[in-house]
Amino acid sequence: MFKNKKFFVLGMGKSGISVAKLLAPDNEVLITDVKCDDFKLIKELEDLGISVVITKEQEEVFNSSFDYVVKNPGVKLDHPVVLRANRLGIPVITELEVGYLYLPKVKIIGITGSNGKTTTTTLIYEMLKAASLPVHLAGNIGIPLCGIIDKIKEGDILVIEVSSHQLVNLDKFKADVSVLTNLSEVHLDHFGTYENYKKTKMRIFNNQTDKDLAILNGGDSEVVRLTKNIPSRKLYFSSVSSEADIYFNGSGIVYKGEEIVNVSDIRVKGVHNYENIMAAILVSFEFGVSLDAIKEVLNNFAGVPHRLEFVTKIHGRDFYNDSKATNVKSTITALNSFDNDVILILGGLDRGHSFDGLKPYLKHVTNIVCYGETKNRIKDFAEKCNIDVTVTDNLEEATKAAYNISSEGDTILLSPACASWDQFKSFEERGDEFKNIVESFK
């Protein structure tokens, strides 16, 4: 816990607000953002004794009198305040690190990875909850840890989704169980190189000892290689190797030589989801959850919003919202889940990454509809692949175009392979917009 310290909180998102409120009673707190039109929120923070500064020149209100900078996960590492803090030797930390230091004695399950974090986190939480364990959900899933500190008691279990942006500034944080779902080349605009990104992901194992547990994707060669020398006890899940502790054999999930879950028991579809489920099962078994409780969750779990989410069927066309697919690997995962004709909607923020990785997975794609900053690069890619392509300006035009060229029996899939920030505040907003457009077709 912190007392009589001076904090500079960079960013007024959910995590920034929650950490400022937690710190305010015993510390001096200034919170800043480049824009905030919520005057009610500003007054609420000021009434708590928090200084609020809205300015594009945030570095001008930052000086050496501050003891800590708390960085919102979305703030880049080359932000002027972060660079200046580094030069001055002022620690740059995250809301998650602050929250961790306020916790009583609890068990922590930390989940990270390039894809599948939220689904795996949600599954673990639901399985532990089904066993009536005292469990809380927090982290990158949209629930800041600092915002639930007052609900957590000694002996409780925390299931925390941890993003790479949170990991980069963690120091004391330690998970009793760490889960690494997979690794792929994402967020290179933030980390510069894939090597930097992978090093950051490995921080989920920081501070673990041989008394702690790592749950790892045994079918991901980079995960296996990079975790070879960590001190933690290791358990592996895999959709490609029967040598893992738990594996998918094509029709079900096998543990200790026995098929414990058949695909007919599982509501969500796709091998990627079976991998997420296997990771969650390994964690649940560690906490004594029964197979019956696990199966109950799997029978009812329909996935999380914006992750290959079934929207509706209209005139024989199935609509799927996979707005969370902000990189090529996620879109590949989605495409592998279908064996009927697919009209694929791609596009969004241009981070400069190549779309060539999609080419081997387009066998069921009859048309590509593209929009946003990347539309012209996607058009060139589609033409190289000899796939019919329709170019539009925005998601509404793209969705309408996809519907107009579709036939009965087709799947219309929004799996953009791009971030949303060229036209939307978040992938959630993009996914909600897609669902609203689809509903208007009824």
How far is C-alpha 14 from the geometric centre of its chain's CA atoms?
Answer: 15
Q: Any idea which residue has 């305040």 for tokens?
A: 81
- Torsion angles phi and psi, residue 70, rounded to 5: -105, 115
Which parts of 68-116 fold into alpha helices (H)? Answer: 80-88, 95-101
Q: Are 355 and 417 in contact (CB under 8 A)?
A: yes
Residue among 219, 213, 186 at smallest CA distance from 200: 186
Residue among 315, 321, 361 at smallest CA distance from 338: 361
Distance separating alpha carbons of residues 227 and 212, to the nearest angstrom: 14
Distance separating alpha carbons of residues 24 and 21, to the nearest angstrom: 5
Q: Is 119 annotated as a binding residue?
A: yes
Which parts of 115-201 fold into alpha helices (H)? Answer: 117-130, 164-167, 188-191, 194-201
Distance separating alpha carbons of residues 180 and 284, to the nearest angstrom: 15
Residue among 55, 54, 61, 78 at smallest CA distance from 8: 61
User: Radius of gyration (Cα) for the chain, nearest Å?
Assistant: 23
- Torsion angles phi and psi, residue 365, rounded to 5: -85, 115
Q: Is 4 annotated as a binding residue?
A: no
Look up residue 125 and give its amino acid. Answer: Y
Distance separating alpha carbons of residues 426 and 73, to the nearest angstrom: 14
221: Cβ contacts below 8 Å, ≥ 6 apart: none
Sign of the dihedral defined by the CA atoms of residues 11, 16, 17, 22, in that order: negative
Q: Is 118 annotated as a binding residue?
A: yes
Distance separating alpha carbons of residues 4 and 10, to the nearest angstrom: 19
Q: Is 300 annotated as a binding residue?
A: no
Q: Is 114 annotated as a binding residue?
A: yes
- Torsion angles phi and psi, residue 118, rounded to 5: -65, -40
Known binding residues for ATP: 113-119
